[in-house]
Amino acid sequence: MASKNIGLSVALAVYNEEKNLERCLSSVGDIADEIVVVDGGSTDGTAHIAKAAGATVIQAVNPEIFHVNKQKAIANCHREWILQLDADEQVSVALAQEIRRVLNMSDVQRSTRQIDSRKKILFERHQKIVEDRDGKIGGNTGIITAYFIPRLNYFLGQPIRHAGTYPDGVIRLVKNGFAHFPAKSVHEQIEIKGRVSWLENDLWHFSNPTLKKYLTGARK
């Protein structure tokens, strides 16, 4: 894969994601210096799609705790920063541009970077909810080593911005060596060493493209 010169690895753990993976990987084609995909024994065309996109594909079992394979993916990344994605997500053009800008900044520039005041209020409110549930994330001093990304969820093809579903912030951009997925519940928060900040632009999430998929998930 040709270098994009921003020091970014993209990491995914996948299982039977041929319907989603190409869209996801195409969305990072202009910013990823490296793509690492841990495939938990897919029986469809997932591995072929990943290799066609230039990814390094690591074969593994499909564990009950999916964080195990997510951690394996980030542990095999070699660039300074890692963008961890799920296959049913897509990096918007605006988000890709923002990631490029932020990674081209110095540590000092990242620490003094300003975001839109209205978004800041919304993001801080969401982060407090997350930390009240999961505990303090990251530290209060030192350099920024991780970023929440606002996630815009789509339901049956339509974006949902109300009913408490937005910004659905998720920590996905992390400095290599400063983040770790605990081998616990899939809902367990990633552990961060260092300060945490926010990006402004959306990560698109297509978790329920059809009513059948939604009902199947709701029954679990």
DSSP conformation letters of 126-137: HHHHHHHHH---
Comparing C-alpha atoms, which of 39, 43, 45 is closest to residue 62?
A: 39
Q: In angstroms, rounded to a whole number, what is the distance separating the alpha carbons of residues 53 and 49?
A: 6
Q: SS3 helix, strand, coil % of the chain, rounded to 5?
A: 30, 25, 45
Per-residue pLDDT of the chain (220 residues; tens, 9 = 90+): 766 689 999 999 999 999 999 999 999 999 999 999 999 999 999 999 999 999 999 999 999 999 999 999 999 999 999 999 999 999 999 999 999 999 999 999 999 999 999 999 999 999 999 999 999 999 999 999 999 999 999 988 899 988 778 999 999 999 999 999 987 765 668 999 999 999 999 999 998 655 445 445 444 4
Q: Is the pTM of this model over 0.75?
A: yes
The CATH label, of 3.40.47.10, 3.90.550.10, 3.40.50.720, 2.90.10.10, for the domain at 8-218 is 3.90.550.10
- For the chain, which residues make up each domain, given as ranges? 8-218
Beta strands in the chain (DSSP E): 8-14, 34-39, 56-59, 81-85, 89-91, 144-149, 151-155, 158-160, 170-175, 179-180, 191-192, 195-198, 203-208
| pLDDT in the model for residue 185 | 65
